Amino acid sequence: MNDQKIADLIVPRFLKYVCFDTESNRDTPETPSTLGQWELAKVLYDELLALGLTDIKLTENCYVIARLPASKGKENERCIGFLAHLDTASDVCGSNVKPQLVKNYNGEKIELMYGLSLDPAKEPGLAEQKGKAIIHSDGTTLLGADNKAGIAEIIAAVEYFVSNPQIERRPIEIIFTPDEETGKGLPCFPIQEIKSTFCFTVDGGPIGEIECECFNAYKANIEFLGKVIHVGHARGILANAALMASAFAALLPRAESPEATDGYYGYYCLMEIAGDLEKANIEIFLRDFETEGMERRLSALEAFAKTIEAQFPGGKVIVKTQPQYYNMKAKIDENPDVLEWLKKAVQKTGIEWHLKPIRGGTDGARLTELGIPTPNIFTGGRNFHSRLEWVSVSEMCAACRVIIELIKTEG
């Protein structure tokens, strides 16, 4: 199947999916955290049903799990799964998305709303799309390629096999999950129902990127309890909780922030700060590829807390931390077959590939931790979580071809 036919399967779906407001909410404990994820999940359920799949389930926590059986003679091949997440990040508005399809990009700067622009002089990946099709946000919202590009690519691959029953295929599972962006996409995941030996998340960036290692991730919620009195009589008595929180945030090393690091360097990221004289709270994300590095960061938070208590007599700082996911590299190294299988499939498409660490995490990290090795495949998207988000249609087609080869490849 040529790229134009694959694009005809992917693009209309993607343009439809991004119009669903599935922005997740990390402050909501329920799974899913937003109703829009339910709406998209139900649409995907119906689409898979319309394609002829009968083994489909939409769970009480908004996980879509479906299976496409093997072709005749392939029933005993190992089942593999493909994952993508329903939600978009809350960093930028994900409501009322207006995707812009450019069928023949002219290679020039694209002006967006709010004075923003996509500039090929600053983005080599964009310059490479000259003469090709791209889809971008209008600048008022994110686009939602993270991860609706992955959803569209997976379902397009399913339709390819349904429409071509003569092509041999192994059994596959299709899994769509809620709340990946909040770091709590899999706590309610029905792992006991999964039949796949290996899985692959379709949640990466530019063409050719394969990812099999990610950050160790922790979240810290830090509470500041002040000591309050009328500010006119505050000398020697007041401990200002809001100021305590600000002072704590100022102790976070600027050289170890997201904007100051790349590659294998971890970071502290202040996500939220709120409070008043009596009580304040901050939320911090901690990321590190190494266990020792994460232990250092966790210890540093405790040391910062003692420093703030010493600076604000009468005030108290309570540090609460919890893991979100772990680096999947060790588990995947224990199962080298999965990476070799993926490399073989990518090579069959003729795509040049390279390994790259994920400066973040995917549901694949949690699934790997639960015993199902799950590396990550590119989607063709760029500038995730921003108003400058865009996706290459030709690279979306390439990702779909990799999925198709994985389903066909012996392994």
Query: Confidence band (pLDDT; 50, 70, 90) for 22?
Result: very high
Decide if pLDDT at 185 tops 80: no
Which comes out higher in pLDDT, residue 70 or 188?
A: 70
SS3 content of the chain, % helix, strand, coil (to 5): 35, 25, 45
Please report which confidence band the pLDDT of residue 410 belongs to, taking 50, 70 and 90 as the band edges.
low
Is there a contact between 396 and 377 (Cβ–Cβ < 8 Å)?
no
Residue 280 φ then ψ, to 5°: -145, 160
| Predicted local distance difference test score (pLDDT) of residue 245 | 98
pLDDT higher than threshold 90 for residue 188:
no
Which of 87, 85, 83, 97 has its CA nearest to residue 37? 87
Is 187 a residue whose pLDDT tops 80?
no
How sure is the predictor about 282, in pLDDT bands with cuts at 50, 70 and 90? very high
- pLDDT of amino acid 241: 98
Q: What percent of the chain has pLDDT over 90?
A: 91
Q: What is the pLDDT of residues 205-226, one digit of tens each?
A: 999 999 999 999 999 999 999 9
- Could you say which of 21, 87, 153, 363 is catalytic? 87
How do residues 57-70 score in pLDDT, each as one tens digit?
A: 999 999 999 999 99
* Residue range 70-125, pLDDT digits in tens: 999 999 999 999 999 999 999 999 999 999 999 999 999 999 999 999 999 999 99
**Mean pLDDT, rounded, for 239-260:** 98
Give the number of other CB atoms < 10 A from CB of residue 149.
Answer: 35
User: Is 87 a known active-site residue?
Assistant: yes
What was the pLDDT predicted at 3? Answer: 84
Burial, 35: exposed, middle or buried (Cβ in 10 Å; 0-12, 13-18, 19+)?
Answer: exposed
Decide if pLDDT at 411 tops 60.
no
Distance CA 35, CA 14 (A): 20
Nearest to 183 by CA among 68, 114, 271: 271
In this predicted structure, what is the pLDDT of residue 79?
A: 95
How far apart, in whole angstroms, are the C-alpha atoms of residue 276 and residue 243? 8
Q: What digits encode the pLDDT tens for the residues 104-113?
A: 999 999 999 9
Mean confidence (pLDDT) of the chain: 95
Q: Is 180 noted as a catalytic residue in this protein?
A: yes
Residue 26 pLDDT? 85
Q: What pLDDT band is residue 1 in, cutting at 50, 70 and 90?
A: low
Q: What are phi and psi of 391, to 5 degrees?
A: -140, 145
Whether the predicted pLDDT of 311 surpasses 90: yes
Catalytic residue among 21, 23, 179, 180: 180
Residue 6 has pLDDT above 90, yes or no: yes
